[in-house]
Amino acid sequence: MLSMTPETEQRAAQLRQKLQEASYAYYALDNPIMEDAVYDRLYRELQDLEAQYPELVTPDSPTQRVGERPATHFSSVKHNIPLYSLENAFDLGELASWQGRWQRYAKENLAGSDLNLAEYVCELKIDGSAIALTYENGILVRGATRGDGVSGEDITSNIRTIRAIPLKLNLENPPALVEVRGEAFLPLDVFERINQERSQAGEALLANPRNAAAGTLRQLDAKSVAERRLDFFAYTIHLADSPSSQWESLEILQQMGFRVNPNRRLCASLAEVGAFYEQWDEGRRSLPYMTDGVVVKLNLTTLQEQLGFTQKFPRWAIALKYPAEEAPTKVAHISVNVGRTGAITPLAHLEAVQLAGTTVQRATLHNGDRIAQLDIRIGDTVIIRKAGEIIPEVVRVLHDLRPPGTEVFQMPSHCPVCGESVFKPADEAVIRCINTSCPAILKASLVHWASRDALDINGMGEKIVEQLVEKQVISSVADLYELTAAKLGDLERMGQKTAQKLVDAIATSKSKPWDRVLYGLGIRHVGSVNAQNITQKFTSVEQLANATSAQIQSIYGVGTEIADAIYQWFQVPANQALISRLQAAGLQFVAEKNEKTATNQSLQGKTFVITGTLPTLKRDEAKALIINAGGKVTGSVSAKTDYLLVGEDAGSKLDKAIELGIIQLAESELLEMLNS
């Protein structure tokens, strides 16, 4: 093995420095200082030296941008500083309302602040994927996705492939710790090139640059990520000694070696903000990346800190979004879909059209009232947009372009699946199929029954359910418990062993507790948490079936809508017959209490909320322990919450608990309370 000389070590350091300077000039300053051929030659020299002397390899070396081996998974990491989402404003009026809100808050809580001197920083809102970067002593040590804002996925190997992200900060004396936030995005020309290549290869096209960027960041092979050539703009920095303003933060980020969007402005008034917003409404269409709005931030760091956060958003920033993109297309067909609760929803099938970077071929029409209001017909030319840039909807019909011979669309008087008459509740716009044997309702009900939070029947997915119903193997949830491996033999890809496993999984579900059974019944508005609280009060199905709506409503967290839905469900003879069959099959309709849990009321009167994945307990097991000890479990954090049980990947509930000063417990602490 060759021994390394001081000259070799020095040469490697010089090469790293030269290559880093060249990358900074090219990607951050857009001002190349080195020919590509020269860069490639120096890069190859460094690569050869590191291959010969592996001890020369450093985390900030340009050769470490792409790893040699694909990752097998991404681990979850907790952000040192939460990544809050932004409140949205959709026009200048809503922006003015936001200004009024933060100013009122400041006047009530921040005595002595001169709010008339407040400045705003406007930055284009890049339509990409938010990421968090951590630097220790100037070296990139971690890159993570936003995730839920509290925790994200560690994608450091992929982050290293993005040339606009420095592996080493461009500072002589970097701080011990720096947190940088920014947006990774796919340039439009790269997006188009990738789709051209995929089209030629007969592969499905990428939907839009935003989704493509997020998907790219989660590729397990860093080399594949490098080929996508993602770009990056930094917009926030967190230091021990914070910059005095957002504008200064952006300048510091540039000095550190990051790309900062040059299309930004320091504004002295809301009128200047409006001018910037309107300028880029048209100008954004010529940009090499997608942007869907302007982020407006109060400039002074001290004012930001004083204003703080609401339950969800910073008070000192807002995303001023551009109007949803609209596009014309034609209605090729109108169909209706039957959901689990029997709701019949009309759907417009459209000639394919590009909208906000995606291909749209269907749009919801909501209900019959909306169809009548639009006067929409097959063959019409319509204007569609994405509500919140996510769900396509029909905005209006261009009646002047209507072809002759069109007919008014009528919502069905009978269910399109089972043929039974539909029902329209007096207080609802939706029509419903109320035939519990309807195949569409049955399919959705079976999928729900077998879901993880209900009876958790392993192996009973949508494809199996579809075959069971279409081949008339079963016509009710109760029929599941009469299945044998022989009866399942006619299903596609269902061998004897697989069939027996499914039968065994169904049999195992008989042991699931009463609250899981109640949730599995699929009563409207009854979620898994409410089912826990309801079965704590009504410990048998007979008690619940004989309860009045008012009695059910007396349960903590149960309102009129839920109580009425439960009461009405138990009045239906077909549902009563279903309960009888399930009881005969051996399902649990009585809450079990052993001697230990019956006497342990250590959590009496205490309200808990659970967030994240617990080390050993499933969430429903933790709920059962709390409820059996006299506690309550609810789905959302409020001032009435006593404890937040926190596991891995805790969500926004943790933020709210911190804000409200609610006690946080680990699983071990809960178990200690129960055993004390």
Binding residues for Zn(2+), by number, are: 415, 418, 433, 438
Closest CA to 219 of 259, 160, 133: 160
- Positive/negative CA dihedral, 568, 574, 577, 578: negative
Judged on CB neighbours under 10 Å (0-12, 13-18, 19+), 615 is exposed
Question: What gap in Å lies between CA 469 and CA 204, rounded to an integer?
Answer: 31
Nearest-Å Rg of the Cα atoms of the chain is 30
CB 120 within 8 A of CB 297: yes
Alpha-carbon torsion angle 165, 166, 169, 175, nearest 10: 50
Question: What gap in Å lies between CA 157 and CA 172, rounded to an integer?
Answer: 25
Closest CA to 645 of 661, 628, 625, 667: 667
Coil, helix or strand at residue 138: coil
Q: Is 125 a catalytic residue?
A: yes
Tokens 């617990």, residue located: 614
DSSP structural state of residue 26: I
- State the catalytic residue, choosing from 18, 125, 443, 656: 125
CB 578 within 8 A of CB 477: yes
Question: What gap in Å lies between CA 68 and CA 65, rounded to an integer?
Answer: 10
Closest CA to 567 of 550, 588, 580, 591: 550
Detail the DSSP E strand segments found in 197-290.
Answer: 231-238, 264-267
Sheet hosting strand 317-321, strand order edge to edge: 88-89, 317-321, 291-298, 120-126, 264-267
Question: What gap in Å lies between CA 143 and CA 179, rounded to an integer?
Answer: 10
Helices 209-217 and 188-200 sit at what angle, rounded to 10 degrees? Answer: 80
Query: What letters, b where the CB count within 10 A reaches 16 and e where it falls short, cover 50-63?
Result: beebeebeeebbbb
Residue 221: CB partners within 8 Å, gap ≥ 6?
70, 71
CB 558 within 8 A of CB 420: no
Question: What gap in Å lies between CA 145 and CA 131, rounded to an integer?
Answer: 5
Alpha-carbon torsion angle 245, 246, 251, 255, nearest 10: 90
Closest CA to 127 of 233, 30, 274, 224: 233
CB 502 within 8 A of CB 488: yes
CB 642 within 8 A of CB 664: no
Binding residues for NAD(+), as ranges, are: 36-40, 85-86, 123, 146, 183, 297, 321
Strand partners, 233: 183
Question: What gap in Å lies between CA 419 and CA 415, rounded to an integer?
Answer: 5
CB 433 within 8 A of CB 412: no
Question: What gap in Å lies between CA 170 and CA 135, rounded to an integer?
Answer: 12
The pair phi, psi for residue 156, each rounded to 5°, is -55, -40
Question: What gap in Å lies between CA 345 and CA 366, rounded to an integer?
Answer: 6
Question: What gap in Å lies between CA 352 and CA 358, rounded to an integer?
Answer: 10
Residues designated catalytic:
125
